[in-house]
Amino acid sequence: MPDGKKIRVLIAKPGLDGHDRGAKVVARALRDAGMEVIYTGLRQTPEMIAEAALQEDVDVVGLSILSGAHMTLFPRIMKLLKDKGMEGILVFAGGIIPDEDVPALKEMGIRAIYGPGTPTGDIVDFLRQNVQ
Amino acid sequence: MEVATEERLNKEGRRAGPVLAKPRYITQNQSIGAKNSSQAIISPSLAESRELADRVLAGDRRGVARLISLIEDDSPEACPALALLYPHTGRAHVVGVTGAPGTGKSTLVGQLARESRQRGLTVGIVAVDPSSPFSGGAILGDRIRMQELTGDPGVFIRSMATRGSLGGLSYATGDAIKVLDAFGKDIIYVETVGVGQDEVEIAATAHTTIVVQAPGLGDDIQAIKAGILEIADILVVNKADQEGAERTVAALQLMLELNHQPQGWQPPIIKTVAVEGKGIEALSHEISRHRDYLQVSGRASLLRQHLAEEELWNIIRKTLVARIMDKLDRAELDQLIHDIADRRLDPHTAANKLIAQILE
């Protein structure tokens, strides 16, 4: 069993859509890459996501959203993380996110955005390279 | 029950097998006696440990979360911080919840936490899920069934992976409980991984152990086998609205009758339907009753000593294995393993030879 520091990731589904297949596929891929993935289930409020990230002391938060509400929910999540002293945390997102929203999301600190069909290996590599 | 409890208390030695994870109690050149550290040279990590301990005692949630991670990762800051917190522990009531996968442990813990909050208690939850034996990764999903508790400032939930530990908990679970205790939580629920028959480590960690069963898992003979059922202070038949619940209760009753001791605590059987919140109040009442029993009967101080001894031996075992592994010559070890695999040498002789070399 590998020891020492493990990468801990919170995979969260903000908003009201009920589709978590993508989130589960990513969670499984990260698990297979040796990471500890906390999965919190559907319909999480920004407050619940930020508080779970704090209690679990994760290095990474992955947000999965298909409802189209990312431009309202994501800024709220980023602000709450910052308010709780977790501005150093790596946040990435996946799901259905139109290209035109990407610059604004990156501007607010979301480091990577993965659409449908992204090889999960890309996400694993990105996290390995970018978690301090 | 006294005798049965004593017997259970001494069983831990069985799982004394070597632990191949790197132990977290190796504190190279580090002073744990932090009380006198004003005279000692304060290393940067010791200063950090002190700051972390202060943050926990001041009620800083992020400090709590951070320290638990450092404990899990075997960081050198963890031990001195725990030493500073230790005098502030021992106040919380620790309730273990164990049982087979799918019996409803997470839902039950969520409901119990809610009930405790209604009674004005603050709550800590440590939920353990298994690490993959292949990748070392894990999916920790216990929070799914405790969602609305996340918004409650009186509740702190931490998910942990077993990281190679086999007894139903992780090596860091006991210390995570201490952090939540020092943090001021009144009651701490510890949910084990879904266990089979023999993962009884929780009984060496918790004050009150709840074993959860569900209908339809195994026949009557399962209930009279040794193992997990024997550690129960309280037996729960969850999903009691399902077919076969009465049969499960009857099987447990028979087991209790066969185990019957004239004196001491008699484990009650409580029926619950956790998803609907049914039976939770009764279960919560039994937890309080068991806590009172421990106090009034004088078992509480015996239990404290027992838990202290278990923990001490666990640390000694872990530390010794680590020291041995540190000193081992990898090439020599590989040679021994070859010899054993090829039947040139038996494993007992090999182990004794290695240990003798190192202890010299």
Strands A112-114 and A36-39: unpaired
Q: Which of A29, A86, A36 is nearest to B129 (CA)?
A: A36
Q: What is the mean pLDDT of chain B?
A: 85
Indicate which of A36, A42, A54, A127 best probes the interface with B, i.e. most B CBs within 10 Å of its own CB.
A36
Which residues of B are less than 8 Å from A51 in CB distance? 150-151
* CB atoms A57 and B66 under 8 Å: yes
3 state SS for A80-91: HHHHCCCCCCEE
Q: Choose among B75, B143, B163: nearest Cβ to A38.
A: B143
Chain B residues within 8 Å of chain A (Cβ atoms): 20-22, 61-62, 65-66, 68-69, 72-75, 131-133, 135-141, 143-144, 147, 150-151, 156-159, 161, 163-164
* CB atoms B65 and A54 under 8 Å: yes
Greater confidence (B57 vs B171) lies with: B57
pLDDT of residue A18: 79
Q: Which of B350, B319, B328, B348 is nearest to B28 (CA)?
A: B319
Whole-angstrom distance, CA of residue A46 vs CA of residue B170: 30
- For B265-305, how does the pLDDT look when each residue is reduced to its tens digit (9 = 90+)? 999 999 999 999 999 999 999 999 999 999 999 999 999 99
How large is the angle between the packed helices B61-72 and B78-85, nearest 10 degrees?
Answer: 130
> Do B336 and B350 meet the contact criterion of CB atoms below 8 Å apart?
yes
> Is A105 a member of any domain?
yes
Q: B11: pLDDT confidence band, cut at 50, 70 and 90?
A: very low
- For B97-107, how does the pLDDT look when each residue is reduced to its tens digit (9 = 90+)? 998 888 999 99
Mean pLDDT is lowest, of B163-167, B182-186, B208-212, B310-314, for: B163-167
- A90 pairs with which residues across the strands? A60
pLDDT, mean of residues B8-21? 35
pLDDT of residue B221: 59
**In total, how many domains does chain A have?**
1
Q: Which of B35, B37, B41 is nearest to B83 (CA)?
A: B35
- For B106-131, how does the pLDDT look when each residue is reduced to its tens digit (9 = 90+)? 999 999 999 999 999 999 999 999 99
Greater confidence (A109 vs B14) lies with: A109
Q: B194: pLDDT confidence band, cut at 50, 70 and 90?
A: confident
Whole-angstrom distance, CA of residue B325 vs CA of residue B315: 15
Q: Would you write out chain A's pLDDT as a tens digit for each of its 132 residues? A: 345 689 999 999 998 877 888 899 999 999 999 999 999 988 899 999 999 999 999 999 999 998 888 999 999 999 999 999 998 999 999 999 999 999 999 999 999 999 888 999 999 999 999 997
Chain B residue closest in CA terms to A30: B137
pLDDT of residue B8: 38
> Is A106 a member of any domain?
yes
Which residues of A are less than 8 Å from B163 in CB distance? 1, 3, 6
Domain residues for the domain of A116 are 8-130
pLDDT of residue B29: 38
pLDDT, mean of residues B66-89? 95
pLDDT of residue B226: 60
> Is A45 a member of any domain?
yes
pLDDT of residue A57: 97
Question: What is the CATH number for A122?
Answer: 3.40.50.280
Whole-angstrom distance, CA of residue B308 vs CA of residue B90: 11
- For A38-63, how does the pLDDT look when each residue is reduced to its tens digit (9 = 90+)? 999 888 999 999 999 999 999 999 99
Whole-angstrom distance, CA of residue A111 vs CA of residue A92: 6
Domains belonging to chain B, first-starting first, are 2-21+89-297 (3.40.50.300), 311-359 (no CATH)
CA atoms within 13 A on the CB side of B160: 31
- Of all residues in chain B, what percent carry a pLDDT higher than 70? 84
Tokens of B222: 């399962």
User: How far, in Å, are B213, B265, B278, B292 from residue B286 at the CA level?
Assistant: 17, 11, 14, 10
User: How far, in Å, are A119, B212, B248, B298 from residue B215 at the CA level?
Assistant: 42, 10, 6, 35
pLDDT of residue B241: 95
Helix (H) or strand (E) holding A122: helix A120-130
Whole-angstrom distance, CA of residue B57 vs CA of residue A129: 35
> Is A3 a member of any domain?
no
* CB atoms A31 and B137 under 8 Å: yes
Q: Choose among A2, A39, A48: nearest Cβ to B139.
A: A39
Chain B closest-CA separation from residue A80 CA (Å): 13
- Of all residues in chain B, what percent carry a pLDDT higher than 90? 60
Q: Given the structure tokens 């997470």, which residue do they identify?
A: B106
> Do B107 and B145 meet the contact criterion of CB atoms below 8 Å apart?
yes
> Do B98 and B105 meet the contact criterion of CB atoms below 8 Å apart?
yes
* CB atoms A55 and B65 under 8 Å: yes
In this predicted structure, the answer to whether residue B190 has a pLDDT above a threshold of 70 is: yes
> Is A81 a member of any domain?
yes
pLDDT, mean of residues B19-46? 45
Q: Choose among A28, A48, A55: nearest Cβ to B147.
A: A48
pLDDT of residue B319: 85
The ipTM estimated for the assembled molecules is: 0.92
In this predicted structure, the answer to whether residue B17 has a pLDDT above a threshold of 60 is: no
pLDDT of residue B348: 96
> Is A82 a member of any domain?
yes
- B157 pairs with which residues across the strands? B125
Chain B closest-CA separation from residue A99 CA (Å): 30
Give the amino acid at B81. Answer: A
Chain A residue closest in CA terms to B159: A56
Q: Given the structure tokens 């997990």, which residue do they identify?
A: B228
Chain B closest-CA separation from residue A15 CA (Å): 14
* CB atoms A85 and B20 under 8 Å: no
Chain B closest-CA separation from residue A86 CA (Å): 9
Chain A residues within 8 Å of chain B (Cβ atoms): 1-6, 8, 27-28, 30-41, 44-45, 47-48, 51-52, 54-57, 84-86
Mean pLDDT is lowest, of B172-186, B213-227, B336-350, for: B213-227
In this predicted structure, the answer to whether residue B76 has a pLDDT above a threshold of 60 is: yes
> Do B169 and B190 meet the contact criterion of CB atoms below 8 Å apart?
yes
pLDDT of residue B3: 38
- For B224-255, how does the pLDDT look when each residue is reduced to its tens digit (9 = 90+)? 566 778 889 999 999 999 999 999 899 888 88
> Is A1 a member of any domain?
no
Q: B34: pLDDT confidence band, cut at 50, 70 and 90?
A: very low
Q: Which of A76, A84, A80, A92 is nearest to A7 (CA)?
A: A92
Q: B344: pLDDT confidence band, cut at 50, 70 and 90?
A: very high
E-strand spans in chain A? Answer: 8-12, 36-39, 60-65, 90-95, 112-114
Mean pLDDT is lowest, of B20-24, B125-129, B152-156, for: B20-24
In this predicted structure, the answer to whether residue B143 has a pLDDT above a threshold of 80 is: yes
> Is A2 a member of any domain?
no
